[in-house]
Amino acid sequence: MKFSYKIFSISGISVKLHITFILFVLFIFLIVVAGFGIVAGAEALIILILLFTCVLAHELSHSIVAKREGCRVDRIILLPFGGLASVDIPLDPKLEFKVSISGPMFNFVLAVICMLLLLWVYPDFSGEYMGKAVDQYLSAFSVSYNYTLACDPCVCNNTTQGNISAISDMGKEDKDSEDNLLLDVSTIPNALLMLMLLNLALGVFNLLPAFPMDGGRIFRSILALRMDYIYATKIAVYVGQMIMIGMILYGMLLWNLWIILIAMFLLMVGGSELEMVKIRYPLKGVKVGDIALGDFRYVSESITLAQFLESVAVPRQRFYPTVNSAGNINGILDIKDLRDLKGDGVRKHRADFSRTYVREVARPEVNTVDAGTEVDKVLDRILGKGFVLVLRSGSVVGHITSNHLADIAKFYRIKE
């Protein structure tokens, strides 16, 4: 994923941070500081660090279980809405269930451990204390959200003004009172309580039967034990979309922007799972060499784009491997990249192409895959790159494009 930066590796798994995660943390910090002051901002920062530490541990539990089962795990990316583990899970419902359930189970186990430690460290802990804490954490989140609304004159009203007054009154309360201490994560009891609540929330939220949540995969794996895998995915995706639409409506009723944004994000991402399975499942066990296209053209890097369009390019081919003077492949020319060089008029278009050489536009990276590899193993790479060369014993025998892969999958689906 673009704009993701590696921060460390663990057990051979690369952990990356997406730039939007940093912006998200900075945004929350500034909002809380503006509404409550620097001390509250520091506490919010601590809570966010605790939250995403739990998210990372959640994703690592998935990855460790998957690796023990022989699955390939490349990386974990931390995003504003959670973690994304790149796990290559075979189309096996039982294995998918085992890997998917491991994340939420880890959160629940950690929540229980935190509760036991809390009872040991703070013997006077009671249900009343916990009830106050939950209420204050929720009200603090709600008030901070309403503060962001109040900052916008377009949506400012009597309700939000009342909440701003509540913020001011809250700041004037005695800092040493038990109620205020409930929000102070610097104390051991409250840090444990916060960890317990965060892990409970993560566990429950991830069990929602909606893709790409763990609950969606668990739901699909249970259905797939009794029906066709694609049909099971279709049901799981549609159920998840209905839940997300319900969350959006619920968020609109509450005027809660966070619920709306999270639900919209999951709604958009969830549908891609069905499209992926429609390609992946029919091609299960099929070798790359069996579906590679052998009829394609190369282009010399030393000719101009005008010469390329005149004598080499054909309508049926989008990607062209480029070769140097020694006949070695050293890049890929994507005909769509030529659109960026087009001028406003036909004359300027032709003039630019007559002075621009193929090597100036071609992409230097050449993605290859062995003909004996199963399509299922390299599907993400093919779809991500759009074009790969297929090699057998070091020699090019064909190529595969993402569009071609989708058409081939439809053919194999008909054959079943």
Q: Please report the domains of the chain, with CATH numbers, ordered by start residue.
A: 4-207 (no CATH), 211-281 (no CATH), 288-415 (3.10.580.10)
C-beta pairs of 146-153 under 8 Å, 24+ apart in sequence? 147/31, 147/34, 147/35, 148/31, 148/257, 149/255, 149/257, 151/34
Rounded to the nearest angstrom, the gap between the alpha carbon of residue 340 and the centroid of all alpha carbons in its chain is 29
The conformation of residue 79, written as its DSSP 8-state character, comes to E
Residue 235: the pLDDT is 94
Supply the pLDDT for residue 131.
56
Q: Is pTM beyond 0.85 here?
A: no
The residue ranges of DSSP E strands in 269-365, in sequence order, are 299-300, 319-323, 329-334
CA distances from 200 to 3, 106, 309, 397 (A): 31, 10, 60, 53
**pLDDT tens, position by position, for the chain (416 residues)?**
667 878 888 877 888 888 888 888 888 888 888 887 887 788 778 888 888 888 888 989 998 898 888 888 878 888 776 777 777 777 889 999 999 999 999 999 999 998 888 888 776 665 555 555 556 555 554 544 444 444 443 434 433 333 333 333 434 444 444 444 444 555 667 778 888 888 998 899 889 998 878 999 999 999 999 998 989 999 999 999 999 999 999 999 989 888 898 888 888 877 888 888 888 888 888 898 888 888 888 899 999 888 898 889 888 888 888 998 888 888 888 888 887 666 554 444 554 787 888 888 888 888 888 988 888 878 878 887 788 889 888 788 888 888 888 888 888 887 76
CA distance 153 to 160: 11
CA-CA distance, 402 to 59, in Å (whole number)? 28
* CA dihedral sign, ordered 88, 91, 92, 97: positive
